[in-house]
């Protein structure tokens, strides 16, 4: 489909399916998508010296224009599988071989999804930066650094406000025009003007030891939001109008004569998308009107000492504290009988806010704290050896590590268990926190036969060997469960046995059907992959039908309402990132051989081995509790399956992502 590009969406195909037995046509519903970044930048800097002062100052203005192309279901999704549309096929019976999606296509019978809206949003924003710094030579061996930086980041997300106001006040509004614009448009986000960022530092080289340098510093930095936050908001109400409709090929015809393309589908089917309603009844993704950049405080104190003439060792403490970081939250949680909203006709019935239905908000409610001891040893040309070794012992604590769930390592589940306690209740190890990390690089340049004279010199001279070693102690992760228990020991007529106290409707829509409530830690000494469930009349093995157990027999208990009642805690799930995946341990090595051909012409032969020790990397285990039901082996908290939902038995239980096994590359360069 060469004509389908982000610059020519009109030629892009719809997503067309005919049933599980037939191939699907077109692109997936979320494609095409793309992003273009255009930056206009003006900056000026100046430096000067006055006595002991070295002063730098300057500024920058840039204007960012980032067109983002993204409209899920923008070209339409046509499902011709018999049944979903609710209309019977006219010219065949349900038992006939012709009762299939192709017949439905010929008759024009389909279940159709389509989104109307602007597929291209120009996220535009001006940014202004100013700074001044004075490096003061206080004494011959003490330098002080004093500086101040100011940053202003424009609110690119206000493109959605402008777009929705223009749509709603134009000729073809999506929503009920009797509603106020505050209800039918994306809100205007206030500018934040207070990014004032001091810089303090020093460097001290004492007279008593000229090989010793002590350094320290403190700074505050602003961390602006990224466009992915705004893209998710742009794909839902009130920015776009998504709808589904059934077509029978007679009274309701939704098959364009010009083919299943973006342009043809919208020309025919846009009037079929339900309009004139209240967008607050639809799920929404937004940011608060006070949305602002995060603030990062960083401090460091280090000691560096020269060792001999060629080497140096450094020990440094580094810490930082992030406030107003970005966190995705359930901003209109289900409260049940505690809800102030008791009107069944309202959008937020039994929720916190009556005026809205489901709301996923990226707010400035996250924090993080990092403390690390960083050490390094560096040498140059020490008996023909050069290299460095760096080791860090560190820990980072936060209440979320990303805005989106990974369902794997890091931010396994992004949302808080308790929507009313998104801070202390979610405090845990950062998803990118590696307690131990080690990196080393070594280069040996052969001193033998450097002149490469004679046959022996050409054979044995000109060699150089490199090795790179990296290690970390494994990525943290969290076990997670389905929004509805799948155990055969669950009573499907009893919601308290198959569901938790978390918002199941919200989890199904915004968290891919995975519960934001986490499994309950039962007995840490029981086998790691063992799971039970509280049925209300006793504990049973999650994977074995009819098998009763004691609670202490299993490591985990499915987090349902019966277990919450038994523990006297509505949200008894395990904390974030209490488990850790396999360690990373890898060596890359290379050997280079230079052969002088003539004059300044040199041929270099190369051999490089990636993962030279051929060590498998297992990453984080399968954290999906429901995979304990898999066969021939249970898949929970091991590496037997290639993903949480695919029963593909991996060789020896190993998952080895690229480059995976040892990879050897041969090469050469001719230099002249």
* pLDDT exceeds 70 at position 643: no
3 state SS of 358: coil
Q: Give CA–CA dist 331/359, Å, rounded.
A: 6
Task: Tell me: do 508 and 463 sit in the same domain.
Answer: no
Paired tokens of 250: 């007679």
- DSSP strand pairing (476-477 vs 579-580): antiparallel
Task: Identify the burial level of 270 via C-beta atoms within 10 angstroms of its C-beta, where 0-12 means exposed, 13-18 middle and 19 or more buried.
Answer: middle
| Omega cis (within 30) before 182 | no
End-of-domain residue from the set 537, 558, 574:
574
* pLDDT exceeds 60 at position 652: no
Residue 361 within a domain: yes
Nearest Cα to Cα of residue 79 among 11, 145, 20: 20
pLDDT of residue 641: 65
Task: Tell me: do 462 and 599 sit in the same domain.
Answer: yes
Mean residue pLDDT across the chain = 92
Paired tokens of 246: 């059934």
Task: Identify the burial level of 628 via C-beta atoms within 10 angstroms of its C-beta, where 0-12 means exposed, 13-18 middle and 19 or more buried.
Answer: buried
Q: Tell me the per-residue pLDDT of 284-303, one tens digit each, with 9 for 90 and over.
A: 999 999 999 999 999 999 99
User: Which of 14-23, 311-320, 349-358 has the least mean pLDDT?
Assistant: 14-23
- Signed CA dihedral, 322, 328, 332, 334: sign only: negative
Burial profile 225-237: b = 16 or more Cβ within 10 angstroms, e = fewer: bebebbbbbbbbb
Residue 629 within a domain: yes
Average pLDDT of the segment spanning 325-330: 98
| Dihedral angle of Cα 267, 184, 351, 497, to the nearest 10 degrees | 10
Paired tokens of 223: 């961390």
CA 458 distance to own-chain centroid: 52
Task: Tell me: do 534 and 642 sit in the same domain.
Answer: no
CA 418 distance to own-chain centroid: 21
Average pLDDT of the segment spanning 70-93: 87
Looking at the chain, the whole-number percentage of residues with pLDDT higher than 70 is 97
pLDDT of residue 646: 47
Task: Identify the burial level of 564 via C-beta atoms within 10 angstroms of its C-beta, where 0-12 means exposed, 13-18 middle and 19 or more buried.
Answer: buried
Average pLDDT of the segment spanning 494-505: 97
Question: Is there a contact between 114 and 242 (Cβ–Cβ < 8 Å)?
Answer: yes
pLDDT of residue 334: 95
Task: Tell me: do 513 and 365 sit in the same domain.
Answer: no
Residue 637 within a domain: yes
pLDDT of residue 374: 98
pLDDT-derived band at 356 (thresholds 50, 70, 90) equals: very high
End-of-domain residue from the set 574, 596, 630:
574
pLDDT of residue 170: 95
* pLDDT exceeds 60 at position 225: yes
Nearest Cα to Cα of residue 108 among 238, 234, 226, 272: 272
Q: Tell me the per-residue pLDDT of 56-72, one tens digit each, with 9 for 90 and over.
A: 999 999 999 999 998 88
Task: Tell me: do 485 and 502 sit in the same domain.
Answer: yes
Please list, in sequence order, all residues whose beta carbon lies within 8 angstroms of the beta carbon of residue 249, skipping any fewer than 6 positions away: 107, 108, 109, 255
pLDDT-derived band at 347 (thresholds 50, 70, 90) equals: very high
Average pLDDT of the segment spanning 97-118: 90
Task: Tell me: do 419 and 493 sit in the same domain.
Answer: no
User: Which of 19-28, 148-157, 251-260, 520-529 has the least mean pLDDT?
Assistant: 19-28
Task: Tell me: do 467 and 380 sit in the same domain.
Answer: yes
Q: Give CA–CA dist 603/610, Å, rounded.
A: 23
Task: Tell me: do 541 and 645 sit in the same domain.
Answer: no
Q: Tell me the per-residue pLDDT of 554-591, one tens digit each, with 9 for 90 and over.
A: 999 999 999 999 999 999 999 999 999 989 999 999 99
Average pLDDT of the segment spanning 170-178: 95
End-of-domain residue from the set 531, 551, 574:
574
pLDDT-derived band at 654 (thresholds 50, 70, 90) equals: very low
Q: What is the 3-state secondary structure (H, E, C) of 8-52?
A: EHHHCECEEECCCCCCCECCCCCCCCEECCEEEEEEEEEEEEECC
List Cα–Cα distances, 466 to 192, 310, 534, 580, 590, in angstroms.
49, 19, 57, 31, 5
3 state SS of 540: strand
- DSSP strand pairing (556-557 vs 601-610): unpaired
Q: Give the count of domains, the chain.
A: 2
Alpha carbon distance, N-terminus to C-terminus of the chain:
45
Task: Tell me: do 582 and 511 sit in the same domain.
Answer: no
Average pLDDT of the segment spanning 42-51: 96
Residue 244 within a domain: no
The pTM assigned to this predicted structure is 0.89
Residue 519 within a domain: yes
Average pLDDT of the segment spanning 415-436: 97
Looking at the chain, the whole-number percentage of residues with pLDDT higher than 90 is 75
3 state SS of 595: strand
Structural domain boundaries enclosing 487: 479-574
Task: Tell me: do 420 and 316 sit in the same domain.
Answer: yes
pLDDT-derived band at 616 (thresholds 50, 70, 90) equals: confident
Residue 260 within a domain: no
Task: Tell me: do 559 and 434 sit in the same domain.
Answer: no
Residue 412 within a domain: yes
Q: Give CA–CA dist 219/195, Å, rounded.
A: 12
Residue 556 within a domain: yes
Task: Tell me: do 351 and 462 sit in the same domain.
Answer: yes
Average pLDDT of the segment spanning 199-209: 95
pLDDT of residue 27: 86
Average pLDDT of the segment spanning 340-354: 95
Q: Tell me the per-residue pLDDT of 397-411, one tens digit each, with 9 for 90 and over.
A: 999 999 999 999 999
Higher per-residue pLDDT: 454 or 358? 358
pLDDT of residue 650: 46
Q: Give CA–CA dist 387/650, Å, rounded.
A: 38
* Number of other residues whose CB lies within 10 A of the CB of residue 218: 14
* pLDDT exceeds 70 at position 651: no
Q: Which residue has the tokens 């999906």?
A: 624
Average pLDDT of the segment spanning 19-33: 83
pLDDT of residue 642: 52
Q: Tell me the per-residue pLDDT of 441-464, one tens digit each, with 9 for 90 and over.
A: 999 988 887 777 777 777 887 889
């Amino acid at each position: 489909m060469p004509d389908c590009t982000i610059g020519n969406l009109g030629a892009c195909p719809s997503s067309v399916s005919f049933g599980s037995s037939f191939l699907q046509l077109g692109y997936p519903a979320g494609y095409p998508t793309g992003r273009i970044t255009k930056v206009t930048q003006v900056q000026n800097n100046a430096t000067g010296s006055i006595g002991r002062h070295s002063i730098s100052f300057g500024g920058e203005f840039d204007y960012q224009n980032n067109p983002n192309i993204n409209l899920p279901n923008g070209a339409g999704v046509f499902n011709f599988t018999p049944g979903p549309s609710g209309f019977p096929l006219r010219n065949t019976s349900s038992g006939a071989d012709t009762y299939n999606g192709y017949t439905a296509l010929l008759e024009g019978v389909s279940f159709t999804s389509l989104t109307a809206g602007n597929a291209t949003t120009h996220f535009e924003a001006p940014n202004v930066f100013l700074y001044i710094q004075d490096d003061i030579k206080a004494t011959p061996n003490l330098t002080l650094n004093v500086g101040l930086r100011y940053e202003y980041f424009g609110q690119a997300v206000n493109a959605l406000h402008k777009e929705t106001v223009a749509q709603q006040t134009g000729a073809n509004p999506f929503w009920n025009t009797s509603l106020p614009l505050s209800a039918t448009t994306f809100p205007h986000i206030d500018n934040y003007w207070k990014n004032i960022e001091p810089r303090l530092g020093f460097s001290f080289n004492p007279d008593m030891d000229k090989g010793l340098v002590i350094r320290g510093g403190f700074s505050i930095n602003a961390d602006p939001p990224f466009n992915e936050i705004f893209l998710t908001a742009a794909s839902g109400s009130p920015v776009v109008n998504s709808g589904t409709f059934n077509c029978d090929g007679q009274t309701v015809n939704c098959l364009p004569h010009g083919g299943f393309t973006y342009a043809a589908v919208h020309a025919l089917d846009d009037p079929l998308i339900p309009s004139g309603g209240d967008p607050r009844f639809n799920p929404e993704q937004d940011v608060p009107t006070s949305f602002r950049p995060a603030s990062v405080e960083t401090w460091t104190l280090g000691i560096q000492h020269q060792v001999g003439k060629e080497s140096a060792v450094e020990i440094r403490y580094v810490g930082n504290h992030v406030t107003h970081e970005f966190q995705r939250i359930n901003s209109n949680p289900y409260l049940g009988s505690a809800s102030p909203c008791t009107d069944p006709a309202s959008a937020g019935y039994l929720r916190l806010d009556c005026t809205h239905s489901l709301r996923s908000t990226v707010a400035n409610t996250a924090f993080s704290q990092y403390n690390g001891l960083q050490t390094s040893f560096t040498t140059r040309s020490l008996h023909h050896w050069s290299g460095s070794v760096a080791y860090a012992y560190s820990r980072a604590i936060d209440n979320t590590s990303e805005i989106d769930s990974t369902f794997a390592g890091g931010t396994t589940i992004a949302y808080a268990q308790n929507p009313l306690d998104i801070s202390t209740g979610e405090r845990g190890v950062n998803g990118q926190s590696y307690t131990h990390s080690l990196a080393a690089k070594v280069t040996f340049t052969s001193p033998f036969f450097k002149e490469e004279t004679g046959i022996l010199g050409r054979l044995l001279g000109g060699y150089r060997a490199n090795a790179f070693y990296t290690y970390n102690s494994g990525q943290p992760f969290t076990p997670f469960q389905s929004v509805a228990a799948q155990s055969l020991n669950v009573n499907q007529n009893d919601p308290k046995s198959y569901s938790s106290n978390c918002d199941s409707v919200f989890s199904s829509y915004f968290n891919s059907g995975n519960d934001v409530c986490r499994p309950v830690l039962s007995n840490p000494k029981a086998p790691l992959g063992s799971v039970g469930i509280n049925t209300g009349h006793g504990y049973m093995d999650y994977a074995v039908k009819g098998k009763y157990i004691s609670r202490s027999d299993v490591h985990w208990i499915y987090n349902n309402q019966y277990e919450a009642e038994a523990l006297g805690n509505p949200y008894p799930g395990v904390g974030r990132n209490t488990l850790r995946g396999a360690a990373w341990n890898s060596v890359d090595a290379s050997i280079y051989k230079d052969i002088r051909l003539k004059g300044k012409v040199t041929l270099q032969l190369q051999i490089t081995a990636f993962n030279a020790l051929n060590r498998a990397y297992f990453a984080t285990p399968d954290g999906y509790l429901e995979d304990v039901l898999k066969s021939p082996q249970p898949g929970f908290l091991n590496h037997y399956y290639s993903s949480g939902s695919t029963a593909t038995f991996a060789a020896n239980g190993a998952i080895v992502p690229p480059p995976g096994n040892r990879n050897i590359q041969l090469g050469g360069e001719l230099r002249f």
